[in-house]
Amino acid sequence: MFMDERKNAYLNTEGKDRPLASPVPAEVVERARLYRLARLRAQMEAADVAALLLYDPVNIRYAFDSSNMMVWTARNPVRYALILNGGPAMLFELPRTEKTARGLPGIDEIRPARIWMFMAQGDKAEAHLEDWAAEIASLVRQSGGGNLRVAADRLEMHAGLALERHGLTVTDGTPLTELARSIKSEDEIELMRWTIRVCEAGMARIAEYSVPGVTERELWGHLHFENARSGGAWLETKLLTAGPNTNPWYQECSDYKVRAGEKISFDTDMIGPYSYCADLSRSWTCGNVPMNDLQKRIYATALEQIHHNLALLEPGLSFAEFNDRSWRIPEAHIPYRYSNAVHGVGMADEWLFVPLHPDWSDKTMSGRFEPGMVVCVESLVAEAGSESVKLETQVLITPSGHERLDSFPFEEV
């Protein structure tokens, strides 16, 4: 069972009423910034594109470490970046917010963004779109050396057509950004370790308040609270449920009042400090009540899956080889299984994605685990009439094997 002394080790040692202050030196952040931009430029060169056009705020943060209303701009195309192959890297910022990006070393020029979405421009949106496309095309022609191929990570259809009317060829930039982001530097890992530290403090708060009568939403709020006050960004999901709400999985937290002895299961999906993701899952009983026999059996099965699949991870192992050797799900649990066994993680969930063995097919992605990748090993175990146990650990692939980056304890069964 989860014991108070284990929980207390993860709360802020300066007191739970204070936020966590990052100890990461400024030079680590600076090196990570330069490394990430160089990774994108290398992928551009390999793909033979003249420019990389970024609208995804996670990719903009990766390229420049520029953070400005990232959730809002994920939905509204009002800021973007253009990285020219052999030329400058430019940020087109939401007008009058340019100050948020000043002084960042990877940005050669900041310009006001041209906003062409209907919400902002109404029946004049098409005219603004043409101005935007003309500016992008002009910049590509100035630096492209005749190459007019532009890779875009996320672009609405009419925007891509506008660029093509101006003579550019638009290709999918997502493979470039995903592959660039998949290999982390030592400095990135240091930033990620700090995000995980903040996440585990939030998990300790959830444990502290896992008492009878608390609602699922109240528990979830403790992770938000610790993340926000310690410099984090947002939570990508609301996956914390208890008792009957844990099965089937993928229900969001509600005003359900948790009863003593019921399982509390959650998946953090937390975008924390420096915009790195801490994607961890744990399950425990409300009120620190000993697990009953069914809960013990389900938990032990989930833990077996985690340990088995974790032990397989090493550089050079192909995804297909991992699948062949991966933990086999007992028949009773198959209808309740999770969507994947392993997935990549960085500034968010990212490439790669290895499904569970029942879902493997000839259309499953190919690839190998490489040093510098960070992946999450997942387990979700339930059966008819049981609660769900959700476990997940975050793992660095090293030159000689693997290293767990999280240390928040699993329950003792």
In a domain, 16, yes or no: no
Torsion of CA 75, 235, 61, 369, to 10 degrees: -110
pLDDT of residue 5: 60
Q: How far apart are CA 108 and CA 34, in angstroms?
A: 13
Provide CB contacts within 8 A for 347, sequence distance 6+.
58, 61, 62, 181, 271, 275, 276, 277
Query: Same structural domain for residues 59 and 207?
Result: no
Q: Which helix (H) or strand (E) holds 59?
A: helix 57-64
Tokens representing residue 212 in the block: 């009878």
Q: How far apart are the first and last CA of the chain?
A: 7
pLDDT average, residue stretch 157-161? 96
Residue 408 has pLDDT above 90, yes or no: yes
pLDDT band at 3 (very low <50, low <70, confident <90, very high): very low
Q: How many domains does the chain have?
A: 2
Q: How far apart are CA 351 and CA 366, in angstroms?
A: 11
Query: Same structural domain for residues 166 and 100?
Result: yes
pLDDT of residue 4: 63
Residue 2 has pLDDT above 60, yes or no: no
In a domain, 24, yes or no: no
Share in percent of the chain as helix, strand, coil (round to 5): 40, 20, 40
Determine the structural domain holding residue 378 and report its residue range.
Answer: 183-404
Query: How many alpha carbons fall within 13 Å on the CB side of residue 35?
Result: 16
Domain boundary among 139, 172, 205: 172
Nearest partner of 306 among 161, 179, 199, 409, judged by Cα: 409
Tokens representing residue 342 in the block: 């392993």
Domain boundary among 145, 172, 199: 172
Residue 16 has pLDDT above 90, yes or no: no
pLDDT of residue 82: 98
Amino acid, res. 331: E
Q: Which helix (H) or strand (E) holds 233?
A: none
pTM of the model: 0.96
Residue 9 has pLDDT above 80, yes or no: no
Query: Same structural domain for residues 143 and 188?
Result: no
Q: Is the dihedral of CA 144, 150, 155, 161 positive or negative?
A: positive
pLDDT of residue 1: 40
Domain boundary among 172, 207, 236: 172
Query: Same structural domain for residues 252 and 105?
Result: no
Q: How far apart are CA 254 and CA 413, in angstroms?
A: 28
Query: Same structural domain for residues 206 and 346?
Result: yes
In a domain, 44, yes or no: no
Provide CB contacts within 8 A for 216, sequence distance 6+.
240, 241, 242, 245, 253, 254, 255, 256, 258
Residue 355 has pLDDT above 50, yes or no: yes
Q: What's the pLDDT tens digit per position in 358-390?
A: 999 999 999 999 999 999 999 999 999 999 999
Query: Same structural domain for residues 72 and 137?
Result: yes
Provide CB contacts within 8 A for 386, sequence distance 6+.
247, 294, 295, 298
pLDDT average, residue stretch 397-408? 97
CA 352 to chain CA centroid, nearest Å: 12
Q: What's the pLDDT tens digit per position in 85-103?
A: 999 999 999 999 999 999 9
Provide CB contacts within 8 A for 32, sequence distance 6+.
65, 185, 187, 188, 191, 274
pLDDT average, residue stretch 105-131? 96
